Structure 1
C-alpha cells in the first residue's frame, strides 16, 4: 500500500528512511538528552513520557510527529544532534512546526554537513496513516510518500 502527502518545506532535501511514529508531542530535549550527554550514537529516545518512541533509536529514522513540545532548548538540541551525527533522517510534522524546532532544523542544514529535510503541515491523515517501520520517501517539493 502506498500513499502520498504534500506539506510545506521547511528544510528541503531528498531522503528515503524508515518511519518512526509518535502520536504525542515530541519533547526534543527529553528525547535526545541521554544521546547527547552520554554518547549513544543510535540516539535512543530517552523521553519515558513518550511510549511511542521511548528507548527506540531515532538516528537515521524518518521521525513522524504531530508537533514538538518542551523547552526553549528544542532548536539547539536538534542542531547539536545533527552536529554530532545523531539526527533523524528527516522530520515530518502533521501540524505546523514551531519556530524553535524550525530554527534547529535550519541551523543544522546551514551550519553542519548533516541536513534533516523537514516538512510540516502534512495533516492529521498523514499521522493516522503512517506506521513505524513504513518506508518514507521525501522529495524537495514537500511530497512525502509512505509505503508499507
Structure 2
C-alpha cells in the first residue's frame, strides 16, 4: 500500500479499480462510443492509446499523466458525467489542463447526484507505482491510497 497526495480539482471520495494509461488521454476519441453510440461501459475507442483501447472506463479509477486533444475535452468529460458514463475518478500524475479541469468542475457543480473526484499533480512516482486492477481510494483531502 502506498499513499500519494495531490491537488483537488473536483472533490469527493471513492474506491475503484485502477485503469492506467502512460500516454495522454484523448477525451474525444476515448469517449466517442459512449457519447454517440450508447456504450454504457465507456469502452475506450482511441486506437492510439494501447493502454486503454478496448477497455471499460466507466466506474474505473482512471490513472494517467494528462489529457490531450482538442478543445472539446472539457465538454466530453461533462457529457460523460451527465450520461453517467464517467470514470469513478480521474487521477493525474501531472497538472491537469484547463479544458479537462473545466469539464470536471462543471460536472461537479451543475450535475446532481454525479460524482467524479479529480486529483492532479500526484507525481511521476504515482504513475510508475499504480497498475491495472489495483484498488484505489480517493479521500476528501486529496490523498490517493493505492493497494
TM-score, normalised via structure 1 length: 0.98
Contact 1:13-1:117 within 8 A present in 2 as well: yes
Match in the other structure for 1:8: 7
Distance 1:41 1:68 in 2: 21
2:104 alignment partner, SS class? helix
Match in the other structure for 2:105: 106
Runs of 4 or more, structure 1, over 6 Å off, are: none
Distance 2:114 2:47 in 1: 27
Match in the other structure for 2:91: 92
Distance 1:128 1:141 in 2: 22
Q: Does 1:146 align with 2:142?
A: no
2:40 alignment partner, SS class? coil
Distance 1:111 1:88 in 2: 17
2:51 alignment partner, SS class? coil
Contact 1:105-1:115 within 8 A present in 2 as well: no
Contact 1:20-1:133 within 8 A present in 2 as well: yes
2:144 alignment partner, SS class? strand
Question: Structure 1 residues 31-40 or 106-115, which shifts more?
Answer: 106-115
2:30 alignment partner, SS class? helix
Cα distance, 1:107 vs structure 2:
0.7
**Number of equivalent positions:** 146
TM-score, normalised via structure 2 length: 0.98
Cα distance, 1:22 vs structure 2:
0.1
Match in the other structure for 2:137: 137
Distance 1:72 1:44 in 2: 21
Point out where structure 2 has 5 or more consecutive residues left out of the alignment.
none
